Amino acid sequence: MQRMGRRRSRFLRKPIEPFAVTAGLTADDVLARMERISFQGRNLATARRIWEKMLGSDATIFMGAAGALSAGGMRLIIAHLIEHRYIDVLVSTGANLYHDLHETRGRRHFLGSPQLDDAALAAERIDRVYDTLASEDEFCKNDEWIAAFVLKLERRPYTTREFLYKLGEYLWKETEHVGILTAAYRANVPIFCPAISDSSIGMGLSQARHRDQTAGYIDVIGDIVESANIVIRKPSTATIVLGGGTPKNFINQASVQAEFYDDRVGGHKYAIQIVTDVPHFGGASGSSLEEAQSWGKLSIESEKVTVQADVTLAMPILISALSTTVGDALAKRKRIEFDVSGRHLVVNGHVLPDRYLES
């Protein structure tokens, strides 16, 4: 064994520890044992440790949410992450916010199957998202509800950040139900929705416009300015991407655009992505975290992990474990504080002006 020790390559330091089956393990135990296995199991375990480091650092944590996460039962996880400030900024597709609103308003999504007959579903006005169903009529009522809300707003352009705050506020006052939008409203956490026009929230806005051509103006360029300015308010940032899509790139772009304001910005310092897309077709959703380093989206020294998995499979175990071990780090966290309620975003007491100056 002495000889083996000498012969052993520098590459062969840390052995794989086969996962040992024990009845009654907690999610935390399971994930701890997965740290010494291979492939995506190990990556998920690593994601928990990197997230803990994010929370123990002074980084502002962006989370991106794409894919049918709210319809698929992930919305209360995201609401929990907002409420307990595992994250500081949410960037979401419109669909995730819309399906959240649908359930916060007391409507439901339903268990279905990918083998269902879509012609039969269409005949009954049921919309299918893979194995999940919803009522088209209820969706139409949501659209009207959103349009009615939009028509109550003062006639001026709104960043998605401001608009979604007001939507969350209105929703909370009407329902007092927990969800993503209402949790963000209550926790003063900004939500950006860069592709809002590609969603049913956008459809609700367009229906308001139909009734009043001065209504429904969204200032998506203002979102870029704000997100970049959030980046420069703290020495470091982190990104947690669920599912890729526009949120992934928007968070990376915030870091790149921040260099326009302050060239000391050097990319996110921590990165987790849980995606099913792959790098080799060139699309942004599947792009590797290494590639992001070439752009300066991620720091060259960043701690990072990609988990190639469906979010609905990875997140329940990841968050069940993380929530068990992270209490202290959350309590001690020196986190960024927002006032999201107004036209101008307030960050740590500092009003971000319309025309941005140096940080």
How buried is residue 24: exposed, middle or buried, by Cβ count under 10 Å (0-12/13-18/19+)? exposed
Q: Which of residues 287-306 bind a second copy (CB under 8 A)?
A: 287-288, 290-291, 293-296, 300, 306
CA–chain centroid gap for 285, Å, is 13
Residue 98: CB minimum distance to a second copy, A:
11
Q: Can you tell me the distance from the alpha carbon of 178 to that of 53, in angstroms, rounded to the nearest whole number?
A: 28
Q: What's the token pair of residue 132?
A: 């999940």
Based on the shown chain and the rule CB under 8 A, indicate whether residue 14 belongs to the binding site for a second copy.
yes
Based on the shown chain and the rule CB under 8 A, indicate whether residue 315 belongs to the binding site for a second copy.
yes
CA distances from 226 to 85, 89, 199, 254, 349 (A): 20, 11, 22, 9, 15
Looking at 68-76, 165-173, 231-239, 337-345, which segment touches a second copy (CB under 8 A)?
68-76
CA nearest 195: which of 225, 218, 170? 218
Based on the shown chain and the rule CB under 8 A, indicate whether residue 168 belongs to the binding site for a second copy.
no
Based on the shown chain and the rule CB under 8 A, indicate whether residue 119 belongs to the binding site for a second copy.
yes
Q: From the CB of residue 280, how many other CB atoms can be counted at a distance below 10 Å?
A: 8
Question: Contacting a second copy (CB under 8 A), which of 59, 61, 74, 271?
Answer: 74
Q: Which of residues 224-283 bind a second copy (CB under 8 A)?
A: 224-225, 228, 243, 245-246, 249-250, 253, 256-257, 260, 276-283
Q: Which of residues 176-235 bind a second copy (CB under 8 A)?
A: 194-200, 202-203, 205-207, 209-210, 212-213, 216-225, 228
CA nearest 231: which of 220, 239, 242? 239
Q: How many CA atoms lie within 13 A of 18 on its CB side?
A: 2
Based on the shown chain and the rule CB under 8 A, indicate whether residue 310 belongs to the binding site for a second copy.
yes
> Given the complex with a second copy, which of 182 and 200 has the nearer CB atom?
200
Based on the shown chain and the rule CB under 8 A, indicate whether residue 24 belongs to the binding site for a second copy.
yes
Report, as residue numbers or ranges, the catalytic residues: 297
